[in-house]
Amino acid sequence: MTGTSSDSHTWNLVFLQLFLEEMSHTVANLGPCPPDDLVVESALAVRPGLIVVSSVNGHGFTDGLRLIRALRARPELAATTVVIGGKLGTDGLRNVGLVRRLTAAGYDRVFDDGDLAEFRELATTRMPARAVS
């Protein structure tokens, strides 16, 4: 689990970590503002079943697009499930175009509406209890 490179918020990462740990996942939390290279290197080292990217500052689309391209550039991570959620833009509106572009770039799921029920379903059905980064 990680924030985006420009997002210094931590409460979202703590909440998501606890949320996933309650479902018996082991979580490696990279915290706020990790450089894209650190996320890629950590994913290569840990080989998680799920990578969760969270954004609160409204730059999730820009930072997330760059990050998924870096992750998907590595063949070793091609099959890794990667999701992003939170505030993807600064206008506060749901933007289907941003969701489509993030999905087309390589995210398996984009949670731009804060739907924890859908996230819980993904974390339990697609990812039985295992490492999450």
CA distance 86 to 112: 5
Q: What is the dihedral of CA 10, 100, 51, 87, to 10 degrees?
A: 10
Query: Residue 132: in which H helix or E strand, if any?
Result: strand 131-132
Q: How confident is the model at residue 95 (pLDDT cuts 50, 70, 90)?
A: confident
CA distance 132 to 76: 16
Residue 132, pLDDT > 60, answer no
The pTM assigned to this predicted structure is 0.90
Of 25, 26, 28, 24, which Cα lies nearest the Cα of 13? 28
Between residues 21 and 116, the one the model is more confident about: 21
Residue 131, pLDDT > 60, answer no
Q: What is the CATH number of domain 2-132?
A: 3.40.50.280
Residue 116, pLDDT > 90, answer no
The per-residue pLDDT for 90 is: 81
Sign for the CA dihedral angle at 123, 120, 118, 43 comes to negative
